[in-house]
A and B are shown apart, each in its own frame.
Chain A
């Protein structure tokens, strides 16, 4: 029995409000393990597409899940559910920050969190890079993206300029790998 749009909305509302530290792990837990709406493989495919398309991964994935079960309205239900809770919370946080952000204790705490969050992003990138086991040309493309971004090359230049090299490297890896990209 496929979920109704109302169930989709409520489930994504719950995902949005509990997903500390990134949505994808929580969404998987909810959709695959708790609700049983998707198999592991189906979720991985939906997430994969969400990550390749431009835009927020979690939102693209939610839209993919919504389309699958409820077409356009399903996609809308998932997207609104995902953002409703965090948007309300964030408006509150932003107002509090404006009021108290410069208090020494708040300032210091946030600097600590900011330093930790930066490391979290960097650690995630390393983890992803290692897990990909890139071939040498693919690794070179990744390093070039890092270097260009740090040299403050504009994003269109980085993405569109490196895409042909990335695709060529992937195609080459595919040929070398005997048909398994």
Chain B
């Protein structure tokens, strides 16, 4: 599965995604789904949702899931290559921006920009949730877990780790 063609497709894919990932890693998941599942067929959609689950169950930034996608395509090399492609260019951009920040913070243009872009990010995050749920929906109970977890996270202030733990137990007992 891991030849040079795959590795370069992986790197170019995540480079392209990273520079437009307004709203962070989760908002870019639909585009990652296109890259991993639809364009290259590197994994099916259940595998895609499970990689996201693995990354969520471990500590660290949400974007770590990109490392798991990279690992799947080209092992440890793929993991580092995908993470670097996803994080390198945007880090340089963030660095440059933060150096200028003193002059820009609180500026009107900045606030309008933020307010105008955030709804797009939220819409993309919602789409990510629906795509992930579709991928995991291999049984009615899985759909019920997704719905319950949505309501819990929306309505409650408790740590979302509770829903991951509940999902793990329900899955282990009933989805075998």
The interface of chain A, by Cβ under 8 A from chain B, is: 16-23, 45, 48-60, 63-64, 67-68, 72, 75, 79, 82-83, 85-87, 89-91, 93-94, 97, 101, 104-105, 107-130, 132, 134, 138-139, 141-147, 149-150, 152, 154-156, 158-160, 162-163, 166-171, 173-174, 181
Q: A21-B161, A67-B99 are in contact. List 13 more A-B contacts (CB 8 A).
A: A51-B121, A59-B90, A75-B98, A113-B57, A115-B149, A119-B153, A120-B56, A122-B150, A138-B115, A139-B119, A141-B116, A152-B30, A155-B30
A116 CB contacts on chain B under 8 angstroms? 53, 145-146, 149, 163-164, 166-168
Q: List 26 A-B contacts (CB under 8 A).
A: A17-B59, A23-B61, A51-B24, A52-B118, A56-B63, A57-B61, A60-B90, A64-B98, A91-B71, A94-B71, A105-B176, A110-B53, A112-B145, A114-B49, A114-B135, A116-B164, A119-B149, A120-B150, A120-B164, A121-B26, A121-B29, A125-B123, A127-B154, A149-B127, A155-B124, A168-B116
Q: Which residues of B, 130-157, contact A by the 8 Å Cβ criterion?
A: 130-133, 135-139, 142-143, 145-154
Specify the main secondary structure of chain B where it touches its partner: helix
- Among the listed B23, B68, B149, which residue makes an inter-chain contact with A94, where contact means beta carbons less than 8 Å apart? B68
Closest A residue to B166 using CB positions:
A116
B81 an interface residue at 8 Å Cβ cutoff? no
Instruction: Tell me whether A115 and B60 are in contact (CB under 8 A).
Output: no
Q: Given contacts A94-B71, A120-B160, A146-B126, are A159 and B64 in contact (CB under 8 A)?
A: no
Q: Which residues of B, 30-78, contact A by the 8 Å Cβ criterion?
A: 30-31, 34, 38, 46, 49-50, 52-64, 67-68, 71-72, 76
**Which 8 A-B pairs give the minimum distances between C-beta atoms?**
A112-B171, A55-B90, A86-B60, A119-B149, A116-B167, A123-B153, A145-B123, A122-B129
> A110 vs B25: C-alpha distance in the bound complex, in angstroms?
21
How near does chain B come to A2, taking the closest CB pair, in angstroms? Answer: 16
> A87 vs B108: C-alpha distance in the bound complex, in angstroms?
38
- Among the listed A57, A127, A171, which residue makes an inter-chain contact with B116, where contact means beta carbons less than 8 Å apart? A171
